[in-house]
Amino acid sequence: MSDSSTRLALAVLLGCGCAHSTQAASRPDQQFEVFQFPKDQIPRIDGSFADWNLVPERYAIGLDQLMDTERGRGIDLDPADFDLSVKVAWVEGLNRLYFYYDASDDDWDFARSGLKNDIFEVVVDGNLSGGSFINTVHPHKDAFKKSDLHFMGHGEHAQNYHVFTPSLRKEWAMVWGNAPWIKDFPHANAAQSYSFQHGEGGRYQLEFYITAFDHADLRGPAYSTESDFRENGLIGLSWCILEYDDEGNTFEAFMNLAHDTEMVRDASSLCLFKLMPIEPELQPAIQANWSVTNIGTDRRSFKFEDRSHGEIQSWHWDFGDGNSSNEPSPIHHYTRPGQWVVRLSVRGPAGEDSLEKIWDVVTP
The answer to whether domain 3-275 has CATH 3.30.980.20 is no
Q: What is the pTM of this model?
A: 0.86
Look at residue 57 in the predicted model and tell me its pLDDT.
97
Look at residue 258 in the predicted model and tell me its pLDDT.
97
What separation in angstroms does the CA of 149 have from each of 114, 162, 271? Answer: 21, 19, 27
Look at residue 222 in the predicted model and tell me its pLDDT.
97
Q: Which residues pair with 324 in a beta bridge?
A: 318
Look at residue 24 in the predicted model and tell me its pLDDT.
62
First to last CA, the chain: 52
CA angle 65, 88, 61 (to 5 degrees): 20
Greatest C-alpha distance within the chain: 77
Q: Which residues pair with 166 in a beta bridge?
A: none
Provide CB contacts within 8 A for 310, sequence distance 6+.
283, 284, 285, 286, 287, 346, 348, 350
Rg of the chain, C-alpha, whole Å = 24
Residue type at position 191: A
Q: Homologous superfamily of 284-363 in CATH?
A: Immunoglobulins (2.60.40.10)
Look at residue 25 in the predicted model and tell me its pLDDT.
83
Element holding 9 (H helix, E strand): helix 3-14
Q: Torsion angle, CA of 211/104/80/69, rounded to 10 degrees?
A: 20
What are the DSSP calls for 45-72, one per residue?
-SS--GGGGGS-GGG-EEGGG-EESSSS
The domain locations on the chain are: 3-275, 284-363
Do 284-363 and 3-275 have the same topology in CATH?
Answer: yes
The answer to whether the peptide bond before residue 330 is cis (omega within 30 degrees of 0) is no
Look at residue 228 in the predicted model and tell me its pLDDT.
98
Kindly give the parts of the chain with pLDDT less than 70: 1-24, 246-248
The β-bridge relationship of strands 271-275 and 31-36 is parallel
Q: Which of 210, 212, 209, 230 is nearest to 274 (CA)?
A: 230
How many other CB atoms are there within 10 angstroms of residue 75's CB atom? 12
7-48 per-position pLDDT tens digit: 333 333 333 333 334 456 899 889 999 999 999 999 999 999
